[in-house]
Structure 1
Amino acid sequence: MAESFDLPVPRVRSAVLDDGPALGELDRSTWSTLHAVQPRPQPPYEPFFDDRHRPQDVLVADAVNAAGETVVAGYVRIVPPTPLACNAHVRQIQGLAVAGWARGRGLGRTLIGAACLAARRQGANRITLRVLGHNAPARALYEAEGFTVEGVLPGEFFLGGRYVDDVMMGRPLTP
């Protein structure tokens, strides 16, 4: 029997170090060549957080299950795309995942909105991302949230027996 979850108003919060195992499991459970260029993770698993992937760069969406327990339903990682001062006005989404049971409920949109708000609070006036060309659901979501295609690297990756474009998207963060 499928467990039921209540997601009327998702709670989005900053990640903490203790979220690492749940976020790692979410990444492994949602892995697909639709969005991943790295091979499928194999045990022993790398930790979700490390020197380059810090809790303060991640927003987590929680849901409450039928037993009243709070569980991780999704996350978005937003970081400066480079360490350069001349690029400090930009943030980049470098990871977005929503649990299979939580899809189709607006959680991806909620996480993108929270990422844009967090980026503005950090002083950014622009946000970017990269998405695989064949990932039509993600591209449609990003377009619906105001992102436009700003560049394409044709055939940048070879996944699942075919060449796949790397699509750069971005949007301003004006209020």
Structure 2
Amino acid sequence: MIVSETQIRTAVQDDDAALAELDRSTWSTLHAVLPAPEPGKPFFDARHLPGDYLVAVRDGTVVGFVRVVPPTPLAATAHVRQIQGLAVAGSARGKGVARALLRAAMDRAREQGAVRITLRVLGHNAPARALYASEGFVVEGVLPGEILLDGAYVDDVLMGRSLVR
């Protein structure tokens, strides 16, 4: 049996429809704090540019994405990158796609001169937290009950790691 390889590349404008569909199909309160994306709404906009995203492609199909951006526009945080969204299609889960995207995000951050990378993850998202921990991220803070989802308060967990090898 031949197992397809995952290619990671920078997103391009032509990925918009595929990423919008992936975003809609993977939306869940397990990881999302914003309302579900609306059908027909573009994925990219003035704040979410193609160059901010890495996409995972298997057999010619976009099956995942990660957004890697500076956490603020301040010069004082220019050495940091933040992961602001990671999603993998159901059909590609369990195949190492999320891990490949996470590693590519760290490589991209290093290429941009970052020495640190951070992210925020919902406290109840055990699979994502385990993945991040397995890649060297540690919990650096917890905002207890910070997020209200489906009538329940959920912790906002801040994780980070050094990018210095």
Structures share fold, TM-score greater than 0.5: yes
TM-score (norm 1): 0.91
Say if 1:6 and 1:63, in contact at 8 Å, map to a contact too: no
Query: Do structure 1's residue 60 and structure 2's residue 55 form an aligned pair?
Result: yes
Query: Do structure 1's residue 153 and structure 2's residue 149 form an aligned pair?
Result: no
CA apart distance, 1:161 = 2.1
RMSD: 1.2
What residue ranges of structure 1 are gaps of 5+ in the alignment?
A: 65-69
- 1 CA distance for matches of 2:129 and 2:135? 10
- 1 CA distance for matches of 2:152 and 2:125? 14
Correspondence for 2:27 among 26, 31, 35: 31
For 1:1-175, list aligned pairs within 5 A: 6-7=3-4, 9-43=5-39, 45-64=40-59, 70-175=60-165
- 2 CA distance for matches of 1:50 and 1:38? 16
Say if 1:149 and 1:169, in contact at 8 Å, map to a contact too: yes
Structure 1 residue matching 2:20: 3-state secondary structure? helix
User: Aligned AA for 1:63?
Assistant: R
TM-score (norm 2): 0.96
CA apart distance, 1:39 = 1.6
- 2 CA distance for matches of 1:116 and 1:41? 27
Say if 1:28 and 1:41, in contact at 8 Å, map to a contact too: yes
CA apart distance, 1:47 = 1.4
- 1 CA distance for matches of 2:164 and 2:20? 33
- 2 CA distance for matches of 1:40 and 1:83? 27
Identity of aligned residues (%): 67
**How many residues were matched structurally?**
164
CA apart distance, 1:6 = 4.5
Structure 2 residue matching 1:73: 3-state secondary structure? strand
- 2 CA distance for matches of 1:40 and 1:14? 24
CA apart distance, 1:46 = 2.7
- 2 CA distance for matches of 1:81 and 1:41? 23
